Chain A
Amino acid sequence: MKSREVVLPGEELEERKGRKLGNGVYFEGDKIFSKVLGMPRIDENEISVTALSGTYTPRVGDKIVGVIDTTEISGWSVDINSPYMAFLPISEAVDEFVDRDRTDLTRYFDVGDIIFCRVSKVTKNMVVQVSMDDYSARKLINGTIVKVTPTKIPRIIGKAGSMVTLIKNKTGCDITSGQNGVVWIRGEEKSKAIEAILMIDRDSHTVGLTEKIEKFLG
């Protein structure tokens, strides 16, 4: 059961009744309240609220698009569109043996490189580590990135990828979306693709969005 109206922080939702609590909610006794401005999702098993805006909170297993920020001694600092920087150790980025004393790490990744990677570790104090050790992890060559609200990424991808495929087909662009709200785009008509993505980010809460995007892409 999904409600159609947005809920506000402090707004009372249903009683817990033994259900699991997802994101965006808190409890006082048996009463559940929303923590954020967002859309409530309430069914027999779980109560949660998906925020309509906000920064990315890293979670282990997330597949994200990051940008190399600085080269350190044994790895790289990665900007993951979060209040927290991530660290990519050499051991998680390169298959071969690397002699740190003799090698210039920039031959693998340099400042400004865009990577698609996996969040491998998140400590309680939000020290974050990422890894390229995943079948889908790779460096994203050329192209550009656009940042959106992380909770809108599922909408940008669409059901079974329908929305992002629509944009890819109509603009001929390569598009990779990270769960951290960063979308990488490469292609001739990338401005059009970017505008479509920003439109979804802005109007994700309206009805008839798919038709609107279709019309815009022509």
Chain B
Amino acid sequence: MKRIDGRSEEEMREIEMKLDVVKRANGSASVRFGNTEAIASVYGPKGVFPKFLQEDHKSVLKVRYNMAPFSVDDRKAPGHDRRSTELSKVIRLAIEPAIFLEDFPRAGIYGFIEMLQSDGSTRVTGINALSMALATAGIPMRDLITACSVGKVDDKLVVDLNGEEDCNGQADLAFAMLPNKNLVTLLQMDGILTKEEIVKILGYARNSCKKIFELQKQTLKERYKGEE
């Protein structure tokens, strides 16, 4: 039995990645997984204001995740809410380990993720975009960050959940990793899975991240092809 949109278990939605979508930012990227689309922009390293928030020996990373009011079926009231505050923190914790914060003491790196369209798996789409935006901004990193969602829907273990699967499924797990280093930086789940299911689904997550990483690599390398 196929999934709601006809995909097989390990099949991801159509993925599209673009760079330099925010001209004034130091770095920017947009990533689309099916109907979920995120724009990420990076500013910095730059001064930290208010000054008391700066750290003597390293930069501070600030991430703001926000959903545009038109990104969902029922208009989402603009501004902070608890969910976006949590996701901002979760995304920051997923990205931070990759960045050489010590390279810029007393500075700040600012990442903004704006969801233009939300149809499930928004935080991982945002992470994929922010990762490329950081790279194009010239921020020194140990590795890129690649993320995907996995879960259980209609008793099947699946990859890349859309909105419906996210709402009505049995489990939904957000996963992010440093692809070259093979280190996991985000593992967040909603729902119930057995130990065997978790082991299997993490395998799916790693495989999917490998494929997404190839696309990130391709997008970045294509953009800067032909340097002398």
B-contacting residues of A (Cβ < 8 Å)? 4-6, 8-12, 24, 26, 33, 35-39, 51-55, 57, 83-85, 124-126, 149, 204-207, 209
Contacts and interface: CB of A to CB of B under 8 A. Distances in A.
A149 B138 CA distance: 10
Contacts of B135: 8-9, 36-37
Contact of B227 (A8, A55, A205): A205
Contact of B144 (A8, A55, A84): A8
A10 B138 contact: no
10 contacts: A4-B226, A8-B144, A51-B140, A53-B27, A53-B137, A55-B45, A57-B103, A57-B104, A83-B104, A207-B228
Nearest to B100: A35
Given A53-B136, A83-B104, A4 B141 contact: no
Q: Is the interface of A mostly helix, strand, loop or mixed?
A: loop
A52 B217 CA distance: 15
A24 B224 contact: no
Contacts of B138: 36-38, 51-55, 149
B144 to A, nearest CB: 6
Interface string B102-128: 011111100000000000000000000
A105 B56 CA distance: 31
B40 interface: no
Contacts of A57: 103-104
A204 B226 CA distance: 10
Contacts of B106: 83-84, 125-126
A55 B46 contact: yes
Contacts of A11: 180
Contacts of A26: 100, 142
Contact of B224 (A33, A37, A83, A85): A37
A209 B144 CA distance: 30
Contacts of A12: 180
Contacts of A84: 47, 106-107
A83 B143 CA distance: 23
A204 B137 CA distance: 16
Nearest to A124: B105
Contact of A83 (B45, B57, B178, B179): B45
Contacts of A53: 26-27, 136-138
Given A53-B27, A83-B107, A205-B227, A8 B220 contact: yes
